[in-house]
Structure 1
Amino acid sequence: MSRSTFLHLRFPFSFFLLPVYLFALAVSGNDGQIEVWLIFFILHFLLYPASNGYNSYFDKDEKSIGGLKNPPKTEKELYWWSIALDALALLLGAYLSWRFVGLLFIYGMVSKAYSHPSVRLKKMPIIGWLAAGIFQGYFTFLTVILGLENMQFGDLLAWQWQIPAILSSMLLMGSYPMTQVYQHEEDAERGDQTISLKLGILGTFHFTGVFFFFSNMGFLAYFYLYFDWMTAAAFQMSLVPVMGYFLYWYLQVRKDPSQADFTHTMRLNLISSLFLNLFFWGVYVFGS
């Protein structure tokens, strides 16, 4: 594997997607060591990197992308590695169930459609936004639950799984446009009409702020009703650093739009992911 291919797989970027897995783990309460670690490995070391590499190969970005400030030129090797990692994810997933494999396959196909020139969901601002939010949130949450609990597809329709799955998507759909806010110039040159490009820089901040408020209210109600008031309060406390940095950055961007850059975006992603991961891991370890 070349250095270019390894960098474009962006393994560290999986940390930003870890909250959904940990949320599902906390809600399920599953303590089966094999299932817990196998699903973690499949998602964060195979499925997500495969998606990163595949999309990087077709995007051929020359400027900063998520988790990679100075992306090197992609090589054909990257394409084949992304396919190989996808195949290995499906192979290992078969240990759990064919249903789990089916959901992994669907996720992989949708993620490929995001950048493949024959479909390129990235060109469609609303559909691309919905696809990213639903599949990285709602769909991934239910995939993890199905893998952990080895249940039937119909069992996933229970409200105990549907409510947190919907909340996962609300969180992703609010934060996703922020990951595109520094890419407007390159996206416009390539003809990709992302939702952030349509909203504009300040519009992206306002959109995220509104979504963040409503998703926050939803999470608070969920943890209060399904866990207890202390868990709900702890969730709110975990978001204080995120809200603080978001407000600080927003004020900076109002003065100088060039501050909507890669460094600030990755810093927000890191802060939010870190504190959400700590919170969800705490809920899983200490229970309700």
Structure 2
Amino acid sequence: MTTKKAWHVNGFLALLLALASIVGSVVLFANAGSETSGFPGAEPEVNGWFIFGGIVLIVVFIVLLTSLTIVQPNQAKIITFFGRYKGTITESGLWLVVPFSGKTKVSLKVRNFNSQTLKVNDAEGNPIEIGCVVVFKVVDTAKAVFDVDNYSKFVEVQSETAIRHIAANYAYDTFSDEQKPSLRGNADEVSQELTQELQTRLALAGVEVLETRLTHLAYAPEIASAMLQRQQAIAIIAARQKIVEGAVTMVESALQQLKDNGIELDGERRAAMINNLMVTIVSDRAATPVINTGTMYG
């Protein structure tokens, strides 16, 4: 099914014609028995033509009423005539369409679908909780109504299926030096891929996906504590590596400055100085110096 434009004309003219028809039928019925045979005291005779004309005007009134439809802004009306799709009206206003036709309302407004928090396994097999919001609108009314049973429910089911598929292709986070994409570190890339997959799935229902965004991302409760400890350990190791690199640079700079000033240290004193500087810089606590004042015996 593809959307096509339905036949429709200005409905206000048809409304005036309908009002004129009902007024004309009332007038004809009122004057149907006003004529007499011309003899004194004779009862009025019923004019069959007036009755027939009044009935015809009532039929015209009913036909015109069944042909009128109102289309609101950002709304469409699907016109069907005895089971056949005749077209769609997207212009707002009062319109005259095919008489005795079915008129199905379809909203063209932008809508949001906020998925439930789903529990899935990421690419590394870790259970995670994930949820997203999908912004969409109907662009093909015929597909939305005739090709799927309920396009709103169809969007919900396909969105959750796409989320599970995308989550299984990415790890929650990367704990190595390899620059692999992850759900936490590449949110824009994940959202773009989710949008493309959803658009492919929802094209059947005539729905256009405008945007998707992850609204919830966390480890499942059963592993959240262990993964938090893992993240803390990795952060501590990374920080220690930076501290050691800085300490080595500072020790090299100190030794070079002593050499430039003409102070030469032998191997033992050089090793002792390096040891003291490294302990002082790398330690996570303030260093307590020990001052050697000499011995009691000369």
TM-score normalised per structure 1: 0.23
Asked which structure has the greater RCO (Cα within 8 Å, sep 6+), the reply is 1
Which structure shows the bigger proportion of residues in strand conformation?
A: 2
Which structure shows the bigger proportion of residues in helix conformation?
A: 1
Bigger Cα Rg: 2
TM-score normalised per structure 2: 0.23
